[in-house]
Amino acid sequence: MGNLGDGINYAFFNNITYVAPKVPTLLSVLSSGEHATDAKIYGSNTHSYVLQPHDIVEIVVNNQDSGRHPFHLHGHTFQVVQKSQAFEEDEQEAYDPDNHEPFQKYPLIRDTVILEPFGYIVLRFRADNPGVWFFHCHLDWHLEQGLAIVLVEDPLAIQEQTPPDDFYRICEACGVPTRGNAAGHVNDWFDLQGEPVQPAPLPEGFTLKGYVAFAISTFIGIYGLWSIIQYGLEDAVQDDKAVFDKLERILKDNDMIQVPLLSGNDASEEAQ
């Protein structure tokens, strides 16, 4: 996880944060004909993978942060063939396909599994259910931050299915296009100009706005110190005589004394 150029914190798979396309991916599949088998039409930031029918799919996720993530797959249950313990940041281990714990003879089967801090998971399933399936962290704020990928499974088989009319009516009512690639283009399916993408990386060092903010903050800080000296310490520079006179006046006004107060110097002289 990290901030991008707009200052907002995002989550990533392989440095890509999920950004919803202009045309929902399922509708791109249904309207793209033979182009449906090319993952490019689904956009740069949907992080889509096209799965062929009956592929054996292996998903490896290495956690590079200290959070626990409940990863969930739509459309399938999967075998959990590897699941590491939690690690400290300075001891984290990535999954090594050439050096790992033996696979279980009967792996755990789930549709959700916890990825431990700085750990890893390895999941497997057979692509035998055509559809557009999300794989994502089930913490809603992490999903909102973009921690998701899209699996487009057997797109030509998806095209043999017909969504109900209400499906298109809802899109129309919401102003959502129902044809086109991720950028909404139908004439050139590989033209992604105008597609929704993630913000640019956070720039290194100071930008112009940073310099302006620094200068203003410095000025306000100096002005604040001057104000403290000018007003906050003003009463502290009065001489002792003025302080005693003020105290005597307050006490007399409240009938608390009958004789004048003696200043420090007066008291010394009287003692002599």
Could you state, in chain order, the average pLDDT of each consecutive group of 10 residues for the chain (272 residues)?
83 95 97 96 96 97 94 98 92 90 92 96 98 96 95 97 92 94 96 93 80 92 86 61 78 71 50 46
User: In terms of domains, do 8 and 143 share one?
Assistant: yes
User: In terms of domains, do 165 and 121 share one?
Assistant: yes
Q: Is the residue at 193 inside a domain?
A: no
Q: Is the residue at 198 inside a domain?
A: no
Whichever domain contains 51, its CATH number is 2.60.40.420
For the chain, list the strands marked E by DSSP: 2-3, 9-10, 48-51, 56-62, 69-73, 78-83, 108-110, 112-115, 120-126, 131-137, 148-153
**Measured distance CA(34)–CA(184) in Å, rounded:** 17
**Residues 6 or more apart in contact with residue 214 via CB below 8 angstroms:** 206
The predicted structure's pLDDT at residue 267: 47
The predicted structure's pLDDT at residue 271: 44
* Overall domain count for the chain: 2
User: In terms of domains, do 34 and 152 share one?
Assistant: yes
Q: Is the residue at 221 inside a domain?
A: yes
User: In terms of domains, do 110 and 238 share one?
Assistant: no
CA proximity to 124, closest of 198, 69, 190, 73 = 73
Q: Is the residue at 202 inside a domain?
A: no
User: In terms of domains, do 71 and 126 share one?
Assistant: yes
The predicted structure's pLDDT at residue 236: 57
CA proximity to 132, closest of 43, 253, 213 = 43
Walk across the sheet containing 69-73 and list its strands. 48-51, 148-153, 131-137, 69-73, 112-115
Residue after which a domain boundary falls, among 174, 194, 229: 174
Q: Is the residue at 199 inside a domain?
A: no
CB-CB contact of 211 with 217 (8 Å): no
User: In terms of domains, do 7 and 137 share one?
Assistant: yes
Q: Is the residue at 185 inside a domain?
A: no
| Sign of the four-CA dihedral 97, 103, 106, 107 | negative
User: In terms of domains, do 70 and 166 share one?
Assistant: yes
Residue after which a domain boundary falls, among 129, 157, 174: 174
Q: Is the residue at 248 inside a domain?
A: yes
CB-CB contact of 24 with 212 (8 Å): no
Q: Domain span at residue 221?
A: 208-271
The predicted structure's pLDDT at residue 168: 93
The predicted structure's pLDDT at residue 186: 94
User: In terms of domains, do 161 and 217 share one?
Assistant: no
Q: How many CB atoms lie within 10 A of CB 256?
A: 8
User: In terms of domains, do 79 and 129 share one?
Assistant: yes
Q: How much is the pTM?
A: 0.74
Cα dist from 175 to 24, 47, 167, 182, 248, whole Å: 12, 24, 13, 15, 80
CA proximity to 148, closest of 39, 13, 23, 15 = 13
User: In terms of domains, do 221 and 164 share one?
Assistant: no
Residue after which a domain boundary falls, among 174, 189, 218: 174
Q: Is the residue at 109 inside a domain?
A: yes
User: In terms of domains, do 33 and 161 share one?
Assistant: yes
User: In terms of domains, do 67 and 115 share one?
Assistant: yes
